[in-house]
Chains A and B, each alone.
Chain A
Amino acid sequence: MILKKGILNIAILSVPIIFILGTLFVGRYHVSFSEVIYSLLAPLDFDVSKNISRETLTVVTQLRLPRAIAGAFIGAGLAASGCAFQGVFRNPLVNSGLLGVSSGAGFGAALAIILFAAQWTSYVLAFSFGIIAVGMSYWIARIYKSVPTVMLILGGTIVSSLFSALLSFLKYVADTESQLPTIVYWLMGSLSSVGYSDFWALIPVVSGLIILFIMSWKINVLSMGDKEAQTMGVDVKRNKLLIITGATLATAGSVCMSGMIGWVGLIIPHMGRMIVGNDNRRLMPVSMSMGAAFMVLIDTISRSITASEIPLGILTSLIGAPFFIYLLKKTKGGGWK
């Protein structure tokens, strides 16, 4: 049992790293095994950089590596948030966008594209409006003194549709030659422009991941329902708020970098449930690990399969949807009622 746990822990850490390293070899610009090794060693100044061309070094360390690292954290963030929301809301079919963070972020990004030219503004506005949207959902749900789960889901639905409408409005008024394609492309999700200079957006993602990892046991207890969780000694309101904060930081940070990416927050936790069961103490880190690996894989396919990149949102759904159907059929025998 302890040995099995040890192997699992090693796998959780090593699988994303293997995928990140693996993706450095793949792409339309051919790079050999030794060139990758040399590129990775180059910053350590082992005098190896003369063995490889400047282009190779740039492709590996400036293009593929930052994309892979960002993709891994984004995948982990989306999967962990989805996992947390499924637990807290006692609903296996919700994802990280439940409280409106994705719709809010989409609106924020579109607003930035229309009002400002600089790319960093779309990051900031997407992140901010993602947080604002969740704040609004929470505020709506607080009509009663407590924050009942059903009211939160209702609040999230209302806020999501509000921001979807606002986004449609922005699309309607956007310049059809330049702005509209940018908005549409952003909404479909991509990591093509991600570099080290954007890594500050990973700070909220990592903070969110840490919060969700620490709170994984409380998510178990909260999934018993608010009343029972309280009778077991859990401060429901405070813990729920902390978990929602963690999930929102992780999702908003992810979405502002990558645009909208569906399915990861829904299917990855379910893949985890099949493999390690539903105890969030194990499910949470496994979801993070699998989300990271899945995202790196999808991004690799996105940038290597055709000459122009396929948007991530399309690929996650194309690959995710059939897999999810398969899972639904399969898990019917896996303890679900």
Chain B
Amino acid sequence: MNLIHVKNASFGYDENNLFSNVNLKLGKGQLCCLMGPNGCGKSTLLDCILGIHKLRNGEIEIADQLLSVYKPSQLAKQLAYVPQIHDRSFPYQVIQIVLMGRSAHMTHFQTPSDKDEQIALNALTSVGIAHLADRPYTQISGGEMQLVMLARALVQQTPIIIMDEPTAHLDYKNELLFMETVVKLIKDHGVSVLMATHSPNQAFYFENQAINVKIAIMSKGGIYKSGLPNEILTEESIRRIYQIDSKIISSYDGDYGNLRQIIPLKTL
């Protein structure tokens, strides 16, 4: 069964298509890294899957049902979303932000119950920031913020989490911490993840953590290739997609197994 199935999708903001004939599948327990240069339409494709934009052509199925038949509250029980950067507004407490993720599970005029509060606290514990629960979320760091967003997605208790370059603004350690947390969530909670990312090395990291990783590379106009990291992430395809020369090196480590990295060399 495919949790997400995008069939021959095309979309454009003006008369030109930003992408067309895009096909994408996400299976259960899978992590799909959606890659591609800036402006190729990764975020827009994610927005289409989230129901923010309507496709021009083609269709999207979520859990074997057409996206168009879902009401927002039903869709939010299938898909949760972690934005690239959250635009903070009022100084809510961290716990209140996480609690908002429970909205999909409330009827129209309901407010969160004690059980919802408990679920929110548990989610904060799962991502390792329970100690921040009562802090104003305008005062936490960017790395902590992304973990709050992850916790908020987690309380939606969805089979799928969609992430749009979630580590783009994080420092070295927080990027790794975020990825470790994602690995933990996939293993502990069985969620499937569709994640836009710019870092091919993240795919290798997830693969080394024994996650079922899949790569889908978008170039201008649509999906260019998809498959396993070692099939897709080759020097040749990096050259074609990003217009750079690169070298893939690998070394064997007794504790961590076969480690691979892509080293960028020069632009073409």
Query: Residues on A close to B: CB < 8 A?
Result: 87, 90, 92, 214-218, 220-221, 223-225, 227-228, 230-236, 273, 277-279, 281, 334-337
Taking the nearest CB of chain A, how far is it from the CB of B40, in angstroms?
A: 20
The residues of A that contact B74 with a CB separation of less than 8 Å are: 233
The 8 Å CB contact of B87, one of A214, A218, A225, A335, is A225
The 3 closest A-B pairs by CB, nearest first: A335-B91, A233-B76, A233-B104
Query: Residues on B close to A: CB < 8 A?
Result: 47, 50-52, 71-77, 79-81, 83, 86-93, 96-97, 100-101, 103-106, 109-112, 136, 138-139, 152, 156
Check if A228 sits within 8 Å of B83, measured CB to CB.
yes
The residues of B that contact A335 with a CB separation of less than 8 Å are: 91, 136, 138-139
Check if B80 sits within 8 Å of A220, measured CB to CB.
no
Sample (10) of A-B pairs whose CB atoms are under 8 Å apart: A90-B89, A217-B106, A217-B110, A227-B83, A232-B103, A233-B72, A233-B74, A233-B103, A277-B92, A335-B138
With A231-B76, A335-B139 already in contact, 6 other A-B pairs whose C-beta atoms are closer than 8 Å: A227-B83, A228-B81, A230-B51, A231-B81, A278-B91, A279-B92
Check if B111 sits within 8 Å of A223, measured CB to CB.
no
Taking the nearest CB of chain B, how far is it from the CB of A275, in angstroms?
A: 14
Whole-angstrom CA separation of A116 from B110 in the bound complex: 46
The residues of A that contact B79 with a CB separation of less than 8 Å are: 231
Check if A273 sits within 8 Å of B50, measured CB to CB.
no
Check if B103 sits within 8 Å of A221, measured CB to CB.
yes
Whole-angstrom CA separation of A336 from B47 in the bound complex: 30
The residues of B that contact A230 with a CB separation of less than 8 Å are: 50-52, 72
Whole-angstrom CA separation of A258 from B73 in the bound complex: 41
The residues of A that contact B88 with a CB separation of less than 8 Å are: 337
A231-B76, A233-B72, A335-B138 as given contacts; A92 in contact with B81, CB under 8 Å: no
Q: Which residue of B lies closest to A227 (CB)?
A: B52
Check if A336 sits within 8 Å of B138, measured CB to CB.
yes
Check if A231 sits within 8 Å of B92, measured CB to CB.
no
Check if A273 sits within 8 Å of B72, measured CB to CB.
no
The 8 Å CB contact of A223, one of B81, B83, B90, B112, is B90
Check if B91 sits within 8 Å of A221, measured CB to CB.
no
Taking the nearest CB of chain B, how far is it from the CB of A285, in angstroms?
A: 12
A220-B100, A281-B111 as given contacts; A231 in contact with B90, CB under 8 Å: no
The residues of B that contact A273 with a CB separation of less than 8 Å are: 90
The 8 Å CB contact of A337, one of B51, B72, B103, B138, is B138
Whole-angstrom CA separation of A215 from B91 in the bound complex: 20
Taking the nearest CB of chain B, how far is it from the CB of A49, in angstroms?
A: 45
The 8 Å CB contact of B71, one of A87, A90, A235, A334, is A235
The residues of A that contact B51 with a CB separation of less than 8 Å are: 230
Whole-angstrom CA separation of A231 from B74 in the bound complex: 10
Taking the nearest CB of chain A, how far is it from the CB of B93, in angstroms?
A: 7
Whole-angstrom CA separation of A217 from B51 in the bound complex: 23
Taking the nearest CB of chain A, how far is it from the CB of B204, in angstroms?
A: 29
The residues of B that contact A278 with a CB separation of less than 8 Å are: 90-92, 96
Check if B138 sits within 8 Å of A87, measured CB to CB.
no
Check if A233 sits within 8 Å of B73, measured CB to CB.
yes
The residues of B that contact A235 with a CB separation of less than 8 Å are: 71-73
Q: Which residue of B lies closest to A86 (CB)?
A: B90
Whole-angstrom CA separation of A281 from B106 in the bound complex: 15
Whole-angstrom CA separation of A331 from B87 in the bound complex: 19
The 8 Å CB contact of A214, one of B50, B76, B77, B109, is B109
The residues of A that contact B73 with a CB separation of less than 8 Å are: 233-235
A334-B91, A335-B91 as given contacts; A232 in contact with B100, CB under 8 Å: yes
Whole-angstrom CA separation of A92 from B106 in the bound complex: 27
Check if B80 sits within 8 Å of A336, measured CB to CB.
no
Taking the nearest CB of chain B, how far is it from the CB of A229, in angstroms?
A: 8
Whole-angstrom CA separation of A225 from B86 in the bound complex: 9
Taking the nearest CB of chain B, how far is it from the CB of A48, in angstroms?
A: 44
Taking the nearest CB of chain B, how far is it from the CB of A204, in angstroms?
A: 20
The residues of A that contact B89 with a CB separation of less than 8 Å are: 90, 223-225
**Residue of A225, A233, A236, A337 with highest tally of chain B CB at under 10 A:** A233
Whole-angstrom CA separation of A228 from B156 in the bound complex: 13
Whole-angstrom CA separation of A227 from B88 in the bound complex: 13
Taking the nearest CB of chain B, how far is it from the CB of A34, in angstroms?
A: 45
Taking the nearest CB of chain B, how far is it from the CB of A286, in angstroms?
A: 14
Whole-angstrom CA separation of A281 from B87 in the bound complex: 21
Check if B93 sits within 8 Å of A277, measured CB to CB.
yes
Whole-angstrom CA separation of A273 from B75 in the bound complex: 33
**Residue of B47, B50, B52 with highest tally of chain A CB at under 10 A:** B52
The residues of A that contact B111 with a CB separation of less than 8 Å are: 216-217, 281
The residues of A that contact B110 with a CB separation of less than 8 Å are: 217
The residues of B that contact A277 with a CB separation of less than 8 Å are: 91-93
**Residue of A215, A221, A273 with highest tally of chain B CB at under 10 A:** A221
